[in-house]
Structure 1
């Protein structure tokens, strides 16, 4: 079960290591203002397009190819440490310095969710590999069978091979999670919940900033009014002393909301970066869910078709008809596999850009207060 909010339990400093800030890619691609979701939707495609041009995308492509072509040579944690930027250790090092509280918990949640999504991408990369293994032997056979001719027939060895491979296909477990799987839909819900909480906090933060700004303007107007009054009175009685006294009383009071507004601005930048990253990754998980659901359904349709078509056993005409249908279906299925594989690389790039952008904002805030 996915836990959508990380409890406020700072990690022991003994488990942390010092790191240089491992930024990769350009975080400026996430530039839409909070509350402008229509603009953010338009930026999702641009985010992916620009990710294709970055060196980080190329690195991710290489590591996922290793995972796909030579499984077992590297563990998931090792692979994640190579492709996730910034990595878990660096994030823990930065967030442990933050003041504990609900907002810090939300920032923790963003990094946890994005890491879990990266793990899901690795799991789906493995599922793609298993899907290729599932269809490869059958695909090879379908290429050599005389399926294009209506008058063609199968030899006894071809009939036996086709029957055995079709039966094996039908009996193997579907490598993709089923629609509604908690791994995918649960993660989508976590991102959705986090996005809602961040949007609410952003609205409250904007309201507080507006309040502080109004108070500062009020103090300024009050200072001008008091000064004018003091000048009039000061023409008769020690005007310089009254002016100094008025300024001494008003200026410190005006400084308090100004300082609070600056602190709130820092907080708003962090919330805004987390919300924009959350929204982009939430939209992306919806796309991944759609692609995975199509692949799962196509495999299940093929399996039902095989089951219904081979009920008479090694009947040549039934095997020919089932094989023809599978050959037509596999053209689109192969394209969907390629689309998902490409999208997983783009997802990794989007994850890294969102994480790097947020950690940069947090670190700038900490540096200014150090």
Structure 2
């Protein structure tokens, strides 16, 4: 197993904690359509109740201690429900521990990605608290005029806020850290593992098709030979022949049905993994740009204020920060909106996989 796949999980009935949220509620709230990208469903996502709910809860100021409580409420299906479903699958005949392990990994990775969305929402809030006081001051300073004069209180206030900006820690993760990049690699590795299993499953289904066809052809040829030879003419022999015709066809058909069920799970997990992997690439790009912009501004402030409260230096630095802040605010908004769409995509992907797993309860094999 890959380092970021689920290494172990207790799968005994004692670990089951029933979830009161029914599947119908999960699927109705999370949507019923999938898409390889988030771009094409941007407009429809904004109109759903799930987006509104996610928008509200991402705006809540939280810390790590409250993340579990929020995820239990807004992650659909939540961890308890997923655990119950997969433990029930573990107890079914024909249980495949490796494939179920891949499904566990998908749910784990998607939950970790939801936690990342919460963390980045808090980072956006910290970034806005960092820039807002300075932005408010820059709006009233005479930076767009030809005058190079500031009042003493303005100069002092600008210097203090610029210095505070330069000294505060960057709220976004370093591009070299494993926060986002490591998660992207985990989704990529899981996608590869799922694709391998999908290919194997498709190969088994094709083999079962060929086996069923071979059985049927052989049986037809044998029957024709027997009839032509005039060996079997009694009615009881014909009945036995009819039963014999069904045996080789029904057995591969039942095995194939189980394989199709397994393939549906793998396919749902792989499609969800692909969507979330592509989405995290966008998040990584947005986060890296924001981190870099803050670092560039901090270096510019540090180099520009080395002479202390020099008026010309403060004016030059303030003008630069004001110009760059327009793009910075736009990027914050883009990331903020994308995190809402990302959380909605997580819920859809999880719900689609749960639907694929629950098919077996409605169609007993």
Distance 1:210 1:151, change over 3 A: same
**1:62 offset after TM fit, Å?**
1.4
Matches of 1:191 and 1:332 in 2, distance apart?
A: 30
- Which residue of the partner structure matches residue 294 of structure 1? 289
Aligned mate of 1:57, from 30, 51, 56: 51
SS in 1 for 2:77: coil
Pairing 1:114–2:110 present: yes
- How many residue pairs get aligned? The number is 355
Offset of residue 96 of structure 1: 0.5
Q: Is 1:145 aligned to 2:136, yes or no?
A: no
CA deviations on 1:330-363 (whole Å, 9 max, x unpaired) are 0110010000000000001100000001101101
Gaps of 5+ in 2: 90-94
1:302-317 correspondence runs (5 A): 302-317=297-312
Where does residue 220 of structure 1 map in the other structure?
216
CA offsets, 1:231-256, max 9 Å, x none?
A: 2233x653434433444444313322
Report the more deviating stretch, 4-13 or 166-175: 4-13
Cα-to-partner distance string for 1:255-300 (whole Å, 9 max, x where unaligned): 2211111110001100000000000000001000000000000000
In the TM superposition, what are the counterparts of 1:120-139 in structure 2 within 5 Å? 120-139=116-135
Instruction: State the match for 2:71 in structure 1.
Output: 80
Look up the match of 2:92.
none
Q: Distance in 2 between matches of 1:8 and 1:80?
A: 20
Do structure 1's residue 351 and structure 2's residue 346 form an aligned pair?
yes
Q: 1:281-320 CA distances to partner (integer Å, 9 max, x unpaired)?
A: 0000100000000000000000000001011111100000
My pick for the range that moved more, 18-27 or 332-341, is 18-27
The equivalences for 1:1-370 within 5 A come to 3-10=4-11, 13-19=14-20, 20-21=22-23, 22-25=26-29, 27-30=31-34, 40=36, 43-67=37-61, 71=62, 75-98=66-89, 99=95, 101-234=97-230, 238-369=233-364
Unaligned runs of 5+ in 1: 32-39
Q: TM-score, normalised by structure 2?
A: 0.92
Given that 1:309 and 1:318 are in contact with CA atoms closer than 8 Å, whether structure 2 keeps it comes out as yes
Q: Provide Cα deviations, 1:150-197, integer angstroms capped at 9, x if missing partner.
A: 223111111111111111100000000010221111110110000000
Deviations 1:89-118 (A, max 9, x none): 111110001135000000000000000000
Contact 2:184–2:281 at 8 Å: present in 1 too? yes
Q: Aligned partners of 2:5 and 2:301: how far apart in 1?
A: 41
Bigger mean CA deviation after superposition, 181-190 or 9-18: 9-18
Q: 1:325 offset after TM fit, Å?
A: 0.2
Deviation at 1:18, TM superposition (A): 3.8
Residue by residue, what CA displacement relative to the aligned partner does 1:200-233 show, whole Å, maximum 9, x if unpaired? 1111111110110111111122222222222223
C-alpha distance in structure 1 between counterparts of 2:294 and 2:44, whole Å: 33
CA separation of 1:312/1:56 partners in 2, compared to 1, >3 Å: closer, same or farther?
Answer: same
Whole-Å separation in 1 of the counterparts to 2:5 and 2:63: 30
Q: Distance in 1 between matches of 2:148 and 2:222?
A: 102
* Partner Cα separation in structure 2 for residue 72 and residue 106 of structure 1: 30
Call closer, same or farther: CA 1:170–1:180 in 2, change over 3 Å: same
Distance 2:355 2:279 in 1: 22
